[in-house]
């Protein structure tokens, strides 16, 4: 597969920039069109100097005719945009991959409750496929519209689904404590992401109200066949990239740490981007920085019989652009690693 023409709506955002970084070297991609809602005609490299001589094309106005001629359209826009933008394009030619939350929740009322915005039309939501690649590649393959998972759900689900599906941990008392770097909040400055407010500080936010709670619960039901309500909280760490998710769950009677590890290893043995770590007692976000890897480990506390299940990802890569391209690869029948086979930055 080669000569693909792809478009990025929201190219100037953090997710858009990461899509460009990986698509530029993708062997199947011949052309990348960049779309904007606010800076039509601006030469991309005049805005992003690090791309001089690499991406010197101008930003284009979002235009249905131009989008419909492409093979793949990535949308990396704030929630509430693609629910209106993408429906007219569904089934019209391009494969659509949406990085926002607009098509992830199957229940429109739930979207409206958690996002506080009008939901996409139900018949379009019904056609969308949740793009957690390791768990849904067979449906991703022929989807007209992919709802790329949220950053936190990607880390949480990859680490918990195998253990929940195999009934090795108790789904009834799941507590998940997750932390993110500030790029997770996008490129628009705000009071809470201002350097002087986040530097040398560490905060909890959206306490018990994060919009990824229903997404995680829905995916646990979908892939592990378990109905549960979770306690999930998020924290802002003064770093640019990375998510670390720590989940606590009671271990089912008679189940050992070795069985939990073996379950994770078996689940992911054929999935190159998920690495089950066994020889360490700690994980850092640096070990996956800039890459599409998700590293996981599990430890059982024998005093409490609870498992501590930890996952790290780069929110902008496996949590957004990388997973979106992994889904495109599945659709194009390419190895999932195509264009994504990079060594983590680490420092």
Ligand X SMILES: NC(=O)C1=CN([C@@H]2O[C@H](COP(=O)(O)OP(=O)(O)OC[C@H]3O[C@@H](n4cnc5c(N)ncnc54)[C@H](OP(=O)(O)O)[C@@H]3O)[C@@H](O)[C@H]2O)C=CC1
**Cα-based distances in Å from 300 to 125, 154, 168, 179, 281:** 39, 22, 12, 21, 11
- Point out the residue whose Cβ comes nearest to ligand X: 13
Does 10 participate in binding ligand X (rule CB under 6 A)? yes
Catalytic annotation present for 263: no
Task: Report residue 228: phi and psi, to 5°.
Answer: -150, 160
Q: Residues 28, 89, 119, 151: which is the catalytic one?
A: 151
Contact of 313 with 153, CB cutoff 8 Å: no
Classify the C-alpha dihedral 193-13-83-150 as positive or negative.
negative
Q: How far is CA 233 from CA 1, 82, 220, 274, in A?
A: 42, 26, 17, 23
Any contact of residue 291 with ligand X (CB under 6 A)?
no
Pairing of β 60-61 and β 129-130: unpaired
CB of 184 to ligand X, least distance (A): 4
Could you say whether residue 305 binds ligand X (CB under 6 A)? no
Binding mask 151-170 for ligand X2W (x = CB under 6 A): x-------------------
185 near ligand X2W, judged by CB under 6 A: yes
234 binds, among ligand X2W, ligand X, none (CB under 5 to 8 A by kind): ligand X2W
Binding mask 202-241 for ligand X2W (x = CB under 6 A): ---------xx---------------------x-x-----
Nearest approach in angstroms of CB 48 to ligand X is 11
Residue 137 sits at φ, ψ, to 5 deg, of -60, -35
Q: Which one, 99 or 334, has the nearer CB to ligand X?
A: 99
Of 166 and 182, the one with the shorter C-beta distance to ligand X is 182
Residue 287 tokens read as 């070990």
**170 or 314: CB nearest ligand X:** 314
101 binds ligand X2W, rule: CB under 6 A: yes
Residues 6 or more apart whose CB falls under 8 angstroms from that of 279 comprise none
For ligand X, what does the binding mask look like between residues 159 and 188, x meaning CB under 6 A?
Answer: ------------------------xx-xxx
- The piece of 40-48, 168-176, 180-188, 281-289 that touches ligand X2W (CB under 6 A) is 180-188
Shortest CB 78 distance to ligand X, Å:
5
Q: Does 180 bind ligand X2W (CB under 6 A)?
A: yes
Q: Which is nearer to ligand X, 298 or 324 (CB)?
A: 324
Residue nearest ligand X2W, Cβ-based:
184
93: tokens are 């030619």
* Both tokens assigned to 72: 């793949």
Q: What one-character-per-residue DSSP string does 275-340 give? A: EE--S-S---GGGGTTSS-EEEEEEEETTTTEEEEEEEE-TTIIIIIHHHHHHHHHHTT--TTTTT
DSSP code string of 119-174: PPPHHHHHH-EE--HHHHHHHHTT-SEEEPPPHHHHHHHHHHHHHHHTT-B-GGG-
DSSP 8-state class, residue 107: -
- As annotated, the active-site residues are 151
Could you list the residues that contact ligand X2W (CB under 6 A)?
Answer: 79, 100-101, 150-151, 180, 184-185, 211-212, 234, 236
């Amino acid at each position: 597969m080669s000569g693909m023409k792809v478009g990025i709506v929201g190219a100037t955002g953090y997710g858009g920039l990461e899509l460009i970084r990986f698509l530029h070297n993708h062997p199947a991609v011949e052309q990348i069109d960049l779309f904007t809602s606010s800076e039509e005609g601006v030469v991309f490299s005049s805005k992003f100097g690090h791309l001089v001589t690499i991406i010197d094309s101008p930003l284009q106005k979002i235009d249905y005719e131009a989008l419909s001629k492409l093979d793949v359209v990535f949308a990396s826009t704030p929630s509430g945009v693609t629910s209106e933008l993408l429906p007219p394009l569904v089934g019209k030619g391009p494969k659509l991959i949406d990085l926002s939350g607009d098509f992830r929740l199957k229940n429109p009322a739930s979207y409206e409750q958690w996002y506080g915005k009008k939901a996409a039309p139900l018949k379009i939501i019904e056609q969308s496929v949740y793009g957690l690649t390791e768990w849904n590649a067979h449906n991703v393959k022929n989807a007209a519209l992919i709802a790329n998972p949220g950053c936190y759900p990607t880390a949480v689900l990859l680490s918990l689904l195998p253990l929940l599906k195999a009934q090795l941990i108790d789904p009834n008392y799941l507590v998940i404590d997750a932390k993110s770097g500030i790029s997770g909040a996008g490129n628009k400055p705000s009071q809470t992401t201002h350097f002087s407010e986040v530097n040398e500080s560490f905060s909890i936010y959206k306490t018990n109200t994060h919009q990824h709670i229903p997404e995680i619960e829905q995916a646990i039901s979908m892939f592990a066949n378990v109905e549960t309500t979770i306690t999930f909280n998020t924290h802002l760490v003064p770093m640019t990239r990375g998510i670390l998710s720590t989940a606590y769950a009671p271990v089912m009677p008679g189940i050992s740490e070795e069985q939990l590890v073996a379950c994770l290893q078996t689940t992911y043995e054929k999935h190159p981007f998920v690495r089950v770590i066994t020889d360490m007692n700690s994980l850092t976000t640096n070990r996956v920085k800039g890459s599409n890897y998700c590293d996981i480990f599990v430890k059982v506390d024998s005093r409490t019989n609870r498992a501590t299940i930890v996952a790290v990802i780069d929110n902008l890569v496996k949590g957004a652009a990388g997973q979106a391209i992994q889904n495109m690869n599945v659709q194009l029948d390419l190895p999932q690693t195509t264009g994504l086979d990079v060594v983590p930055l680490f420092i």
